Amino acid sequence: SQTIHQWPATLVQPVGSPLSLECTVEGTSNPNLYWYRQAAGRGLQLLFYSVGIGQISSEVPQNLSASRPQDRQFILSSKKLLLSDSGFYLCAWSVSWRNTEAFFGQGTRLTVV
């Protein structure tokens, strides 16, 4: 069966520090991968998605970036965190591009102080 791992679960970082959140999927090949952010009291915002190694699409301009160094690994990064980067970050994967559900990791609660 397929599983998705996301870590760390919680993170407190000072403003201006770098960020690296990692997500890996097991039990499937060539998944579509996604990073979402959920700010307090708000819905989900798609940040990045990837349909293959090295293929990253950004949905919103910001100081975050994403990389996919391996087929089932998706990394969210920042060189310098802002206070506004605080939120709940969710990684997800799906089998194919069209009309299919996504499966979510357990999320990372990021607090920038």
Instruction: List residues binding other proteins (CB under 8 A).
Output: 6, 42-44, 46, 49, 88, 90, 92, 94, 97-107, 109
- Distance (Å, whole) CA 57 – CA 80: 21
Q: Which CB sits closer to other proteins, 39 or 113?
A: 39
CB 48 within 8 A of CB 40: no
Shortest separation between residue 11's beta carbon and other proteins, angstroms: 13
CA angle 50, 45, 37 (to 5 degrees): 85
Shortest separation between residue 103's beta carbon and other proteins, angstroms: 7
Q: Which CB sits closer to other proteins, 77 or 107?
A: 107
Q: Which CB sits closer to other proteins, 9 or 16?
A: 9
Q: Which CB sits closer to other proteins, 80 or 100?
A: 100
Shortest separation between residue 25's beta carbon and other proteins, angstroms: 13
CB 67 within 8 A of CB 78: no
- Distance (Å, whole) CA 1 – CA 103: 12
- Which amino acid, one-letter code, is at 91? C
Shortest separation between residue 59's beta carbon and other proteins, angstroms: 8
- φ and ψ at residue 83, rounded to 5 degrees: -55, -35
